[in-house]
Amino acid sequence: MFNPSKEKTYMPVQDANVRNKNFDEVSLGYDCNSAINEANRCLNCKNTPCVSGCPVGVKIPDFIGKIKEGKFEEAYEIINNTNTLAAICGRVCPQENQCEKNCVRAKNGEAVAIGRLERFVADFHLNNSSDDNIKKVASKNQKVAVIGSGPAGLSCASELAKRGYQVTIFEALHLAGGVLVYGIPEFRLPKSIVQKQIDHLISLGVEIKTNVVIGKTITIEELKNTYNYKAIFIASGAGLPRFMNIENENANGVYSANEYLTRINLMKAYKETSDTPIVKANKVAVVGGGNVAMDAARCAKRMGAKEVYIIYRRSKEEMPARQEEVEHALEEGIEFKFLTNPISIGKDSNNFVNKIRCVKMKLGEPDASNRRSPIVIENSEFDIEVDCVIMAIGTSPNPLIRNSLSDLKVEKWGGIIVDEETNATSIESIYAGGDAVTGSATVILAMGAGKKAADSIDKYLSLKK
């Protein structure tokens, strides 16, 4: 029965003043009834504008159709055919810029809550199925190495394992998941969900080796010659944090968002039982306007900071962060300083940060990226007193692999150059994808790249046999 409501079906969330003190998941997800209710808002458009907004082309009206019928497991199968990380994407994709942006219902009211429905279906599957009887054994005797266990690596490994290849994922950290475990906080993406996705991969026969840095522990040469991997997929991400190169940026209490988030998420600094030290700050400034900035700010609040500012040089409209994260941050008491840019950091006699000096900005003409570029307003300097600064202004591709592989062609800024159709690099049998190629982008784009590379690797290896 069609649901004419102009608004999305409500998804319960933890109260803002409760959740800003804990690390439990903020959004609580739909139950069966609200999922069906929301699914019934879908018009099942013949030309599927939503699908064209999805970077991996999930058959959205089809899976929503199954939800309408209460066939949740079948809905899951439809998503899983194109997106093997649905529980993650349902939580972290910027749906408002992708599928939901094109939704016909958004022309007069809110879009169908495609992201929430995807999440519901994926969670339903995770809670009601088990991997116990999957136990797949590789049917092909060709070995493929995947470097990095973030979204691109996981999706590539899963595709190849399903096609019977012997896949090994190499991860530099002690835990698999890449940015999904060190970057995105527990309250936005519970680590148990990431772990379930990884366990699923293992049941498909994928081997995961943690504590291995390719280029250091094992070289690419060795992967090929000593260990006999027939193809390699580089998905080492864009881990190298950028700094602003302003005065006193190395003062104590100034973190890259990567470090701050890693200490909290991967190293569990928020738990009593953890040995991981972290500066316990009262007033925190986070510089940047993306999801990572929101994550860092919201973590700081949860770690007990009284005042947390997000400093962003453009205005709210230009912020790259997911809309829901911005709203949640606001509700949790994060203060936004738009059209503001830091020019220096101040420190006390013990080298600890004590203020951040900013200037006011205004928006000028649109630049090459079609965003209006910020211009400094003269004589607008002012100081904000802080005892912690977190730089969340982006990351560059990790240099370790390209430094150890001189033949690999890379862009000036470090991104690995690949053939757009195949994700092949300049070296035969080596493919690359995700942030290592594009620079920091989204989980879903990285996933899509992993899948595409898996197709190419499959083709390449089938011909070689």
Partner 1 sequence: MFKIIKKEILNPTVTLMKIEAPLIAKNAKAGQFVILRVSSDGERIPLTIADYDNNTITIIFQIVGATTYKLNQLNENDTILDVVGPLGNPTNTKDYKKVIVIGGGVGCAIAYPVAKQFHLEKSNVTSIIGFRNKDLIILENEFKQVSNQFYILTDDGSYNKKGFVTNQLEELLKQDSSYDLVIAIGPLVMMKAVCNLTKIYNVKTIVSMNSIMIDGTGMCGCCRLTVDGKTRFACIDGPDFDGHSIDFDEAIERSKMYHSIERNAYDHVCNLLKEEKKNV
Instruction: Tell me the torsion sign for CA atoms 418, 424, 425, 431.
Output: positive
Out of 47, 277, 379, 421, the only residue in the binding site for partner 1 (CB under 8 A) is: 277
With CB under 8 A as the contact rule, the residue among 74, 247, 249, 318 that binds partner 1 is: 249
C-beta closer to partner 1: residue 221 or 367: 221
Q: Nearer to partner 1 by C-beta: 79 or 238?
A: 238
Q: How far is the CB of 111 from partner 1 (least distance, A)?
A: 36
Draw the binding track, 124-163, toward partner 1 (x: CB under 8 A; -: no contact): ----------------------------------------
398 forms part of the interface with partner 1 (CB under 8 A): yes
Choice from 68, 196, 263, 355 touching partner 1 (CB under 8 A)? 263
Question: Where do we find the tokens 């012997």?
Answer: 166
Q: Does 22 bind partner 1 (CB under 8 A)?
A: no
Q: Which two tokens stand for residue 433?
A: 């994808």
Burial 105-128 (b: 16+ CB within 10 A, else e): bbeeebbbbbbbbbbbbbbbbbee
Cα 64 to its chain centre, rounded Å, is 24
Separation CA 176–CA 179 (nearest Å): 9
Q: Token digits for 347? A: 């420190």
Residue 212 in the binding site for partner 1 (CB under 8 A): yes
Token pair of 217 as six digits: 């522990």
Determine, following the binding rule CB under 8 A, whether residue 330 of this chain makes contact with partner 1: no
Nearer to partner 1, 135 or 216 (CB): 216
Taking CB under 8 A as the rule, does residue 216 contact partner 1?
yes
Q: 3-state DSSP: the chain helix, strand, coil percent, rounded to 5?
A: 35, 20, 45
Is position 219 an interface residue for partner 1 (rule: CB under 8 A)? yes
State both tokens at 359.
Answer: 């200037």
From CA 256, how far away is CA 261, in angstroms rounded? 9
Greatest CA separation for the chain: 69
Question: Of these, 16, 45, 106, 240, which contacts partner 1 (CB under 8 A)?
Answer: 240
Contact call for residue 351 and partner 1 (CB under 8 A): yes
How far is Cα 430 from Cα 464, in angstroms, rounded to an integer?
14
Which residues of the chain form contacts with partner 1 (CB under 8 A)?
Answer: 172-174, 182, 210-213, 216-219, 239-241, 243, 245, 249-253, 255-256, 258-259, 262-263, 267-268, 271, 273-279, 350-351, 398-400, 403
